Structure 1
């Protein structure tokens, strides 16, 4: 009988070892899950922070752009530095084009930082481009936009080009209904 008790005790010890290993494995898995959850939470935080930093960088860039344009608008000699148009412009027309550039860049910035959807961008642009000076500016700077490829700015520039074509071909004076607003990507 002594051999039977030792076999049962051996079996009990093996079961205890297996239960201990299973408990250890469960604890390790729980710790891994907690570590993954913490890592995932940290990654989400960093991604949100990166988006916020990107938006702050774009806003700073917009502010600097406006400061430079303001100086050029106020000083005809500085405005000559930004004269990249293919036809000669009067000082007045150059100032108007610089302001049109500021308006469009502001609209572009609002879209890029997420303050408006692509649909809203389209609707604002449709109104802004009713002004003949803004249209003239757009056509005068087409060669500058031609070098933009594969960027958000290039996509939105093409959207404006298409809109202007639709506005020119429209059979209605109700410009606010011309063109189909794009879907947000």
Structure 2
């Protein structure tokens, strides 16, 4: 019986080793499956982001095309501009001011410009009296923005910069205006 008992133990040891091997292989397969799923998800997200970026770039090209047409044709500028009772020169200036602001906003949205850099760019843009006139004339346009939206936060940044620049007693405009925290 002792011999049979050793045989069962050897079989039991072999079965245990085989089972351990099978469990190890299964664990490796599960880990590989999880890595594969994570990789598939990252690839899907990257493709979606690329698609979104391509659509945004195409939309920006088309917006630039429309703006160019409006800047070169006063009759078309009247359609694009919602500001009434301004002469054609002022209307083109306002459209251009909007294009400069929109370009800065989109550069931030695209990740090409940090919040801090956007603040600096807007500080420069706010030096223009024409931009300030445009900003004041379009105040009602921003009234309907959701207060938590990125564009509303950037709009408040411009409002604050203009106020701070107006109240400043220094000629060193490039140091005026405290950077608001980036939210959302």
Same fold by TM-score, threshold 0.5 exceeded? yes
- 1:75 alignment counterpart: 73
Does structure 1 residue 33 correspond to structure 2 residue 38?
A: no
Partner of 1:137 in structure 2?
Answer: 134
Matches within 5 A, 1:6-21: 6-21=4-19
Which residue number corresponds to residue 161 of structure 2?
A: 163
Alpha carbons 1:163, 1:179 under 8 Å: kept? yes
| Contact preservation (8 Å) 2:94, 2:130 | yes
Higher RCO (C-alpha under 8 Å, 6+ residues apart): 1
CA distance in 2 between counterparts of 1:172 and 1:45 reads: 51
TM-score under structure 1 normalisation?
0.90
Between 1:158-167 and 1:49-58, the stretch displaced more is: 49-58
| Structure 1 residues without counterparts, runs of 5 or longer | none
Whether the 8 Å contact between 2:126 and 2:161 is mirrored in structure 1 is no
**Which of 102, 106, 128 is equivalent to 2:103?**
106
Residues 58 and 109, structure 1, Cα contact 8 Å, conserved in 2: no
TM-score by length of 2: 0.91
Shift of 1:144: 0.7
After TM superposition, what 4+ stretches of structure 1 lie above 6 angstroms from structure 2?
A: none
Whole-angstrom distance in 1 between the partners of 2:155 and 2:97 = 14
Deviation at 1:183, TM superposition (A): 4.8
Does residue 1:175 correspond to 2:173, yes or no? yes
Partner Cα separation in structure 1 for residue 94 and residue 73 of structure 2? 14
- By how many angstroms is 1:46 displaced? 2.8
- Quick check: 1:59–1:109 contact (8 Å CA) kept in 2? no
Aligned residues between the structures: 182
Contact 2:142 2:152 in 1 (8 A): yes
The Cα RMSD (Å) is: 1.7
What's the counterpart of residue 120 of structure 1?
Answer: 117
SS in 1 for 2:120: helix
